[in-house]
Amino acid sequence: MSRGSIRTLMLGDAQAARVVPPSGFTAQLTLFVSGAMAFLAVFALALSLSAGRLADRWAEELARSATLRINAPADQRSAQTDAALKILTQTPGIASARALTDEEQTALLTPWFGADLNLDDLPVPQLIEVIEADPGYDAAGLRLRLAAEVPGAVLDDHTRWRRPLVDAAQSLRRLGWFAIALIGGATAAMITLAANAALSANAQVIEVLRLVGARDRYIAQAFVRRFTLRALVGASVGVAFGLAGVMALPEASQEGGFLTGLGFQGLSWLFPLLIPLLGAMVAFAATWSAAHRTLKELT
Amino acid sequence: MIELENVGYSYGGGELLSDVSVQLIPGSFHFLTGPSGSGKSTLLKLCYGALTPTAGRARAFEADLRDLNRDQMAMLRRRIGVVHQDCRFLDHLPLADNIALPLTVSGHDASQEGSDLKELMQWVGLSERAHALPPELSGGERQRAALARAVIMSPDVILADEPTGNVDWEMSQRLLQLLVELNRMGKTILIASHDLALIRAAKSQVSVRVLRISDRRLQLAGADL
């Protein structure tokens, strides 16, 4: 496909388009299916992008922090906390370590125990927030040292429960891209079927055109142009509806968690605008190959 | 111009034509006659490459038709005007567009050659019908329109398959007149027809050679016509 013929196609050879009789009903079906596919593609795209964002955010946030828990009898707690903090400051790869204040710990427990909680009544372990430097620390080595010097300390570096979450988000992203690929393939199949139907319905037209000296390229162009424009228009409408649907979804919020993050952010709002172009390209390729297959069988 | 050399054509096991040799020289006027089903249409199709001979060679404008690719074949069709037996048109386009179709598909701007088109339509007597759709035309009008479409690219050769098939005597005379005029302009004409009266009428105006298909072979008919 040369650039010239694409330009001819887009500028439009009105004469070439006219030689094929207009087709009312099937044209609307093509429009409808391209629109529906584009609509679905918008949501698949939103899913992939959101899942991607989620995976990145979780990986980023959780990778950088760890928690040290001091389970010690009340009288030793403060001493062990100081010992642990001392060890942590000496450990290479740790940017900072800070014992949470009683107020912070109360705040963390409030959702479970209510606001009027008195920490002194409970054997609550002391938490130490550890912020990792880049490069990070040696978790195994730190554990060994803590076990020797601060018997009540438990290091929780979050990898244990971070990994399955990030994996889940990443499979969700893959699933989204796979759905987009399927939608593209289904669109190509549908356009091929429609183009084949149009080509056989117009067998006589094609025969007349060959008889008067039309080249294959000219005949194919009439069909290709028609289906490409239909896919472009149908997909544009579908994307418009899809975007409206995504905008109607609730905003991302702390309470809603992951589900409400579905949608586009910033520049990613531009991605769905590529869907009609991709749809038109798929239609172009599908019709072009269908037309050439059909024409090759004729004299 | 067009040359068949020991051409044979068979399909489905049966042989329709065998050992056909004929040469259409520029400016000649040939009739091709023979009973129905004897292979007149097939012979014409072999001449413009719609069918490929199963034996022998078909050549047009010094090129073996077998060697032409699809685009070259399309170019060849622009130099050979064909009046099809059932003169097919694009039924959704008005007559003027149908007649101008060879110009359109070869990338000419049909509107620029509007005066030629008008002249041509006048010549075949269809000026009044320019905006009619093909299904609205009578048999004779369709035949004349097919002839106009066949000559609009000013081809060197005109092949006509039963051009007077479904028209009355007066109309067939008129069509013949058009073909004779084209021949006088130097075009090579080959008409397949079993209308002997038409052939006689032509003989009185131009020098005509009559080819007859008989028993799968092509013979030059004698003076008996």
How far apart CA B199 and CA B210 sit, in angstroms, is 8
pLDDT band at B174 (very low <50, low <70, confident <90, very high): confident
Position B204 pLDDT exceeds 80: yes
Among B36, B108, B48, residue whose Cα is nearest residue B74: B48
Residue of B nearest to A219 (CA): B105
Give Cα separations from B34 to A237, B37, B141, B206, B210 (angstroms).
61, 8, 26, 21, 10
CA dihedral A30, A36, A37, A39 (to 10 degrees): 140
**Mean pLDDT score, A7-20:** 64
Contact A21 B110 (CB under 8 A): no
Per residue in B177-187, pLDDT (tens digit) is 889 988 999 99
Measured distance CA(A154)–CA(A131) in Å, rounded: 16
Subunit contact A218:B105, Cβ cutoff 8 A: yes
Query: What's the token pair of residue B141?
Result: 């009008």
How are strands ordered across the β-sheet holding A94-99?
A94-99, A126-132, A65-70, A153-156
From CA B126, how far away is CA B117, in angstroms rounded? 11
Helix residue ranges per DSSP H, A64-122: 74-90, 102-113
Q: Which residues of B touch A299 (CB under 8 A)?
A: 49-51
Of B75, B84, B110, the CB nearest to A211: B84
pLDDT computed for residue B1 by the predictor: 84
* pLDDT band (50, 70, 90) for residue A1: very low
DSSP A78: H
B→A interface, C-beta within 8 Å? 49-51, 70-71, 74-78, 82, 84, 88-93, 97, 101-102, 104-106, 110, 149, 153
Burial of A265 (0-12, 13-18, 19+ CB in 10 A): exposed
Q: Tell me what pLDDT residue A100 has.
A: 86
CB B74 within 8 A of CB B112: no
Question: CA A66, A68, A70 angle in degrees (round to 5)?
Answer: 165
CA-CA distance, A53 to A261, in Å (whole number)?
A: 9
pLDDT for res A179: 93
What is the rounded average pLDDT for all residues in chain A? Answer: 83
For A218-264, the pLDDT digits (tens) are 888 888 988 999 999 999 999 999 999 888 877 655 555 555 567 78
CB atoms under 10 Å from CB of B166, counted, come to 15
The pLDDT assigned to A201 comes to 87
Q: Give me Rg for the CA atoms of chain A.
A: 31
CB B31 within 8 A of CB B208: yes
What number is the average pLDDT over the span A11-32? Answer: 75
Of A18, A212, A296, the CB nearest to B149: A212
* Span B48-65, average pLDDT: 88
Residue A299 contacts B where some CB pair is shorter than 8 Å: yes
Q: Count CA atoms within 13 Å of residue A199 on its CB side.
A: 26
- What per-residue confidence (pLDDT) applies to A172? 87
* pLDDT score, position A275: 92
Q: How many helices (H) and strands (E) does chain A have?
A: 10, 4
Residue corresponding to tokens 């050679």: B209
> Which one has a higher pLDDT value, A26 or A39?
A39
Tell me which of A5, A15, A202, A217 to substitute to probe the interface with B (most B C-beta atoms closer than 10 Å).
A15
- Chain B residue closest to A206 (CA)? B90
Across residues B37-58, what is the average pLDDT? 88
Size of chain A in residues: 299
**What pLDDT band is residue B189 in, cutting at 50, 70 and 90?**
very high
Q: Compute how many other C-beta atoms are within 10 angstroms of the C-beta atom of residue A53.
A: 18
Q: Cβ separation of B77 and A213 shorter than 8 Å? A: yes
User: CB within 8 A of A85, min separation 6: which ones?
Assistant: A97, A99, A128
Among A211, A294, A298, most B C-beta atoms within 10 A, so best to mutate, is A211
Q: Is the pLDDT of residue A88 over 70?
A: yes
What share of chain B in percent tops pLDDT 70? 96
Q: Are A20 and B104 in contact (CB under 8 A)?
A: no
Residue B85: its pLDDT value, please? 79
CB-based contact B53:B9 (threshold 8 Å)? yes
Give Cα B26 to chain centroid, integer Å: 15
The answer to whether residue A100 neighbours chain B at the CB level (below 8 Å) is no
CA distance B11 to B7: 14
Answer whether B60's CB lies under 8 Å from B13's CB: no
- With a cut of 80, say whether residue B131 has pLDDT above it: yes
Q: What is the mean pLDDT of residues A93-118?
A: 80
Q: Do A208 and B104 touch (CB under 8 A)?
A: no
